[in-house]
């Protein structure tokens, strides 16, 4: 039951991000397992590529012309080869949630936590400008209905709509930090009308 839920969560995160990119009319290239399913789901809005991300030759071909990458779930950075040429990586991370889990939940999420930790550490050491978005528990609730909270420590106990998480990932594309930006976010009271200003404020806060 656990692995299936995890797989569904990954697919849901991926789908939400793709749909948010389509709405923004962004050119999209996606690494998928099944090109036919991707075509049925997204049509010609997405250039789908099926292959093994750990294969250097395939990854080099897939990343040709790609300036920014959004990783909506753990594992890609850890298994990928070189990201040469990429100018910005956005990672949606639930590391704060995994670290806050105890008992049986901690055992069930042990591998996910390990992958999330590896993803973050490898990304920070890559030399590529990065944005790590540490969310609270991701929920299947409508996006755009609530505000946000960005306080340190909020992700361990709060939650965030998956639609809102995908939207934040897409908005982050236009705000590239000099080195890296790590912040926590959950649904809360703060209304954000200008995401460029919001990211600028978060960068000033972290000094990056």
The pLDDT, as a whole number, for residue 5 is 31
Structure tokens belonging to residue 72: 């909506």
Q: What percent of the chain shows pLDDT beyond 90?
A: 50
Cβ neighbours of 206 (radius 10 Å): 13
- Higher per-residue pLDDT: 165 or 10: 165
Q: Tell me what pLDDT residue 6 has.
A: 33
Backbone angles phi, psi at 184, to 5 degrees: -105, 150
pLDDT confidence of residue 155:
94
Q: Say what the pLDDT of residue 62 is.
A: 87
Query: Can you tell me the distance from the alpha carbon of 49 to that of 133, in angstroms, rounded to the nearest whole number?
Result: 25
Q: Which domains does the chain have, with CATH numbers?
A: 2-206 (3.40.50.720)
pLDDT score, position 63? 86
User: Is the pLDDT reported for residue 1 higher than 50?
Assistant: no
Nearest CA-CA partner of 26 in 43, 49, 40, 46: 46
């Amino acid at each position: 039951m656990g692995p299936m839920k995890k797989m569904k969560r990954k697919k849901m995160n991926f789908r939400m991000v793709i749909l948010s990119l389509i709405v923004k009319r962004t050119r999209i290239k996606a690494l998928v397992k099944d090109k036919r399913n991707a075509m049925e789901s997204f049509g010609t809005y997405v250039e789908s590529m099926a292959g093994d991300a750990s294969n250097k030759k395939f990854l080099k071909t897939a990343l040709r012309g790609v300036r920014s990458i959004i990783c909506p779930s753990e594992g890609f950075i850890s298994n990928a080869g070189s990201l040469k040429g990429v100018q910005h990586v956005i990672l949606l991370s639930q590391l704060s949630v995994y670290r806050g889990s105890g008992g049986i939940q901690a055992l069930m999420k042990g591998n996910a936590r390990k992958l999330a930790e590896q993803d973050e550490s490898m990304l920070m050491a890559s030399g590529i400008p990065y944005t790590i978005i540490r969310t609270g528990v991701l929920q299947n609730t409508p996006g755009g209905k609530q505000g946000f909270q960005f306080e340190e420590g909020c992700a361990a106990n709060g939650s965030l709509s998956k639609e809102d998480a995908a939207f934040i990932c897409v908005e982050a594309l236009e705000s590239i930090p000099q080195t890296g930006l790590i912040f926590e976010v959950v649904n809360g009271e703060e209304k954000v009308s200008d995401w460029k200003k919001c990211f600028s404020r978060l960068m000033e806060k972290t000094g990056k």
